[in-house]
Structure 1
Amino acid sequence: MFDIRYIRENPDAFDAGLARRGLSPRAGEILALDEEARKFTHALNEMQEKRNAASKQIGQAKAKGDEAEFNRLREEVESIKNQMPVAEEQQKKYQNQIRDILSGIPNIPADDVPEGEDEAANVEIRKWPESENGPKRLNDAKEHFDLGEALGQMDFETAAKMSGARFVLLKGQLARLERAIASFMLDLHTGEFCYTECNPPLLVKDDALYGTGQLPKFSEDLFKTTGEHWLIPTAEVSLTNIVNNEILSEEELPLRFTAWTPCFRSEAGSAGRDTRGMIRLHQFSKVELVSVTTPDQSKDEHERMTGAAEEVLKRLDLPFRTMVLSTGDMGFGAQKTYDIEVWLPGQGAYREISSCSNCGDFQARRMNTRYRVAGEKKKINPVHTLNGSGLAVGRTLVAILENYQESDGSIAVPDMLKPYMGGVEKIEAQK
C-alpha cells in the first residue's frame, strides 16, 4: 500500500517505479479519483461547520424568542443533516476505489535493484565456498527422491493415496532429520541472532493476509477453509501481524521473530514444474524470520537477516550462492529481495532455499503499524517490515540428501545435526 500524499507530490516518480516493474502508469487515474474524494471531504467539512454554527444560533434564537429564526435554523440543520450521508457515501465510494487500486499495485523497487523482466536479470553477489571451479560435482549423483525412496523413508505413493499429488510422507530417520534441521535452525536464530521464537496460529483471517499482501491479489495461491479462515502460506503472515494496528515505541525496535511452522500453498501457477520430489509441495515446513524496524534500520537489517539465513548453510557445509532479484522477479510486497540458492548435485543446479525481502513501509501501511519517534511524542511514522526463510526445512533436507549421499545410497549426517539425531552418523535403508 502507498501513501496517497507521496503519489500527489511525486506522480512521475511513482509511475517510474511502476515502469521498472513492467507496469503501466497509474498516478493520473489515482489522482483523479483522489481529487473527487477530496471534493466531498471539503464539502463535508463545510457542512459540519455550517451545522455547528447553526446549532449555536438555534439556542440564541430560542433565548430571544425569535420563533421564525428558530424554525429557519432548525430546517437548515435538518437539511444539512440529510445531505451529509449522501456526501459521505460519495466520499467513501471514491476512497474505496483508490484503496482497491492501490491494494493491487506491487511495491516500488529500491533504486539499487537490477532491472529486468524475469530471473534471467538476477545478479549473483556472492558464492560460498569461494571457488573458481564452483561446488563439487559428485559422480553419478542421485536426486533426493531416488535416494529417499531407496531408503524406504520417503513415500510419495502413500501420501498421494490420502492427499493427492504434491504431498510426501517421511518416515524413520528422514522424519527425524527434518525435525533435527528445524531445531538446529531455531537454536541458531534464537541463540546467536536474537530472534524471539514463536508458535503462531496456522489459520488466519482476511485482514492478516491483506496486511502482508497475499490478499486480494493472490487468493488462488492459498487454501481457504469452509469458514472464515485461510491456511498460512508462510509464517511471515502470522509473525508480521503480531504488530498489526499497533503503535510501537522507537526504543523497542527492531523486533525480531522466528517460527517453525507448516506452510500451505496451492501452487496454482506451477503446473508441470517440479512434479517429482519435495521441491514444490502443497504442504511443507519452514523456519521463518521476521523483523520490524525503523526506516533507517531496515537496510542494515536486510543484510543481517540474509546473513543469518546464509549462516545455516555454512554450518551445514552446503554450497550456495546469493542473488539479488531483478524488478521482474521479486515478490509483490518487496522493495528488494535476496534469494539464497543451494547447490543440488543430483540436479546439477542451484535451487532457491531462502528469499529475504525488505518490504519498507508497504506492509506497515496495509496493517496500520506505526512507531512513535523518540523525543517527538506527536510524530508517528510507519515501521518497516522484513521477512525471510531461515530456511525452508524440506529443501534443506533435500540439499543434505544430495550433498551428503554416499556411494552405497546411505546419507551421512552433517556434524551440526548429530546432537539432534541422538548421535546417529549415517542414515541407511530400513531393513
Structure 2
Amino acid sequence: MQNTSQHVVIIGAGHGGGNMAALLRQYGHTGPITLVGEESVPPYQRPPLSKAWLKEQLEMEDLFLKSEKFYSDNQITLRLNSKVTEIMHEQKAIRLAHDEVLTYEHLIIATGARARMLQIPGHELDGILYLRDVGHAHRLKQALASARRIGIIGGGYVGLEVAASARALGVEVTVIERESRLLARVASREIAGFYKELHEKQGVEFHFDKEITAFDGKAGKVSGVVLADATVVDCDLLLVGIGAIPNDDLARAAGIKCQNGVLVDLDGRTSVPDVFAIGDVTMRPLPFYDRLCRLESIPNAMEQAKRAAGAISGRPAPADELPWFWSDQYDVKLQIAGMPFDVDQVVMRGSLESGRCTVFHLCGDRIRAAEVLNSPSDFLAAKKLIAAGSVIKVSQLSDPGIPVMSAIA
C-alpha cells in the first residue's frame, strides 16, 4: 500500500481535477488534498454549457459536480481564483501568483485546454465569443437573449450544439466551415450528412469550403464575417469554435515531456516522478489501438482520474476502458464507441432517414468504432464487441432485425 497521508496538489479545478479529489478520498487517501483552480466557482459539468445552460434549463448550482459542503466535509482545500505560475518538481512544490509556494508529495496537472483563437482583422470587436468555461457560457447566454442572428465559425460538435440551442431560442444561425463538410475530423461522411440535413430542416444556413479574412463591425460590435471571396455573412453575434490547445505551458516550462499535450502513461504518470496529468491536457496511450492520442472528453477525464487516484492510493489498476463520446442536438443523441483507426470498410445498420441507425467501422471482421444515432442498445453492444476484439459476421451487422451481439462469429 502507498502512504495515504501524503499531500496531493491538483492544478485545475475542472471535471478531471474535481473528480480526482473526490476519488482520492473514496479510495482511502487520508492526507491533505489541495485543489487549485483559476475560476471563481467549484468544479462543474461542462457538457451542458452548449445545451441546457444556454436554454436556461439549469441554474449554476445544477452544474456543480459536488456541493461546496462536500469539499469541507472531506477536508479538500479549494483554492479558487488562484493561478499557478510555476512547477518546481525538484523541490516538489508549485508557485502561485503573489509568490506563494505549496509543497506536495504528489502533483496532478489537470489544466485542460483553451480555445484556439482566430486572430484576424476585427478580432477585438465586441460580440465575438468562445466557449470553454462557464464564464464564456454566461456571456453567450446573455448575448443570445437579444441576438437576431448568430454566426458560428466551425462545424464541430460544440458549434452544432450551440446552433441547436440558438434555434430553440428563436435565433437565426449561420455556420461557416472551412472544410467541405461538417465534423470533418471527428465523424464519418454519413453522420455529417445526417446532421447537415437535420440542421437545415431547423433553418440553419451553412457555408462550406470558406476561408475567413476579417470580421466587420459597427460601433465597435461585430456585424459580419468577411470571406475570402469578399462575401460578407451578416450576424450580430459570433461564436468561434475552431478547436482547442492543451494548457501544457506549465509542464513544458518545468521540463516535463510534452507532445501536443503532456505525455503520460496509462495511469497518468508523466516523465517526472510523482507528477501525474489527466484530462484534455494529456497525450495518452490508447490500449485498443496501439497509439498515442489526445482525447477531449468527459469519459476520458474520468477514466484517467480513476487510474491516477488508484495509482496514488495503491489500488490495482482497473481494466482498460474504450474511448467513447456523445453529442445531443435537438432530439437526436449521437453516441460514439471507439475510434475509426485502420478501418477498411463501413457498414450501415438502419437508415439515416429514420433518425435511428448505426455506422460500424471495421478492420477485416472486427469492429473498430461505431457511430450510433438514437439506439442505446447498439451503442452498448458495440462497446463490448470492440473492447473484446470479437470476430464478427459482418453480413449480419446491417440487419436491424438481428441483435448486434448475435453477430459474433
TM-score, length of structure 2 as denominator length: 0.21
TM-score, length of structure 1 as denominator length: 0.20
**Structure of higher CA gyration radius:** 1
Which protein is richer in helix relative to its size?
1
